[in-house]
Structure formats: C-alpha cells, structure tokens
Amino acid sequence: EDKVVQSPLSLVVHEGDTVTLNCSYEVTNFRSLLWYKQEKKAPTFLFMLTSSGIEKKSGRLSSILDKKELFSILNITATQTGDSAVYLCAVERSNDMRFGAGTRLTVKP
Amino acid sequence: DAGITQSPRHKVTETGTPVTLRCHQTENHRYMYWYRQDPGHGLRLIHYSYGVKDTDKGEVSDGYSVSRSKTEDFLLTLESATSSQTSVYFCAISDQGPGQSNEQFFGPGTRLTVL
C-alpha cells in the first residue's frame, strides 16, 4: 500500500536553532513531492520537487529530494517563532496526491 | 489566499441528517478537490472534479457524494452524517490535474461535528 511517512511527528526547538524535517515515501507512479506549511487554517504551498539532488530554496527554508532512496528533507535555519506550524509532505501520483500526517514544529522564544 | 471560500465554516449536526458543504472559487481553475483532515492521518482525498459534471472518487469516498454544476462551485454532500465523519474538510483547486506536477491551493476549511 502506498504511504508517506513524516518524522518526527513533533519537535520543539528554540529560536535560532536549525531543524530538519523528514519525509519518506513508497508510492506507485510518483510525479512530484510537495511541502506545505499549515498554521491555524489552510495549508500554504512551500516547495515542489520533481528531480533528485536539486535544492529548492526560499529564504531560510530549503528542501531536497532523493528519488533513489525515496525521501525528502525540509531544512529551516535560524528558526523564528513564526515558523511554528504543522509541516505537511505530499506526494503526487499519476491520479491523486497522498499526504503524510505532518510534523508539528514549535519554536520557543 | 487564492480566491477560495468555503461555507459554512463551522457546523454541528446530528447523526443521520444530510449535510452539504460548499466550495467556491474565483480563479477559474479546472480542478477542484475535497479533503478531510484528521489527527494522525494528514489530509485524505474524498473526491475531485476535473470539470463541470466530471468527478471521480478519492481515497476515502464512501459516505460522500459531490456535484459540480458550475466551474466555480464544488459541493460535498454527506447523505446521512455519521460520527466518523466529524472532521475538518478542506477544498482545494489547481489549474492542472493530478500527475501534472502542480500545486494545489487550499480553502480555509470547514469544521464539521456530527453528534
């Protein structure tokens, strides 16, 4: 059965720390992997990755995909309290999108 | 937020009653989706639409039906609500379909409680 597994499920850090969130997957007909940030309401798009080894970067956030080992990581450097959220990984297949359960990140002042 | 609204935003209903949730978009995107989000499960696809009157089932479609009579509106109906359908429901839109490597934009969500 296809699955998307995120780890850790939750994480508490202090401002300024660097964090790495993990997403591993086993799916058929892989097309792309996406990361979303969800605060109190709707998930908002962060990155889409389709090729191995090419880092996507936006400010303090970056992400990379390994299609051979079937995982992706999301890095956040110099964390801020505004980074507190649930981070969702989603894998797009040929006919739908499968989401992981999410990692809840809490950044303390 | 990309021009997506959901109504109602909160609803409490009783087991056995019919419930309809509405998603409205102003982006003229072809594809629309309904997801449910439950603790420990992330987001799971219920149904999606690839055009007016064109819909298909997702991962957790049992107990739900959908309709799309206009590009901008996608309705989700629970014919006879059960407590297991208590959840947060999200609508999403995209201008290309599943498998086309495109991002989906999400609405604000509807919190449904079935007593």
| Homologous superfamily of domain range A3-104 | Immunoglobulins (2.60.40.10)
Q: How confident is the model at residue B115 (pLDDT cuts 50, 70, 90)?
A: very high
Q: pLDDT by residue (tens digit) across B57-109?
A: 998 999 999 999 999 999 999 999 999 999 999 999 998 877 777 789 999 99
Q: pLDDT by residue (tens digit) across A19-30?
A: 999 999 999 889
Q: Which region, left, alpha or beta, applies to residue B21 given φ > 0 means left and ψ of -120 to 50 means alpha?
A: beta
- What are the distances in angstroms from CA B107 to CA A12, B3, B48? 28, 8, 14
- Mark yes or no for CB contact B59/A98 under 8 Å: yes
- What are the distances in angstroms from CA B36 to CA A27, A69, A98, B27, B109? 20, 29, 12, 22, 9
Would you state the structure tokens that stand for residue A12, as one six-digit string? 């508490």
Q: pLDDT by residue (tens digit) across B3-55?
A: 999 999 999 999 999 999 999 999 999 999 999 999 888 899 999 999 999 99
CA atoms of A91 and B2, how far apart (whole Å):
21
Q: Where are the domains of chain A?
A: 3-104
Question: Helix H segments across chain B?
Answer: none
Question: What integer pLDDT is reported at residue B1 of this predicted model?
Answer: 52
Domains in chain B, CATH or no CATH each: 4-114 (2.60.40.10)
DSSP 8-state secondary structure symbol assigned to residue A51: S
CB atoms under 10 Å from CB of B68, counted, come to 20
Burial class of B99 by CB neighbour count within 10 A (0 to 12, 13 to 18, 19+):
middle
A90 to chain B: which residues are within 8 Å by CB? 43
Residue with tokens 């055009």: B51
Interface-testing mutation among B23, B36, B37, with chain A (most A C-beta atoms within 10 A):
B37
Would you state the structure tokens that stand for residue B30, as one six-digit string? 């072809």
Q: How far is A3 from chain B (nearest CA, A)?
A: 11
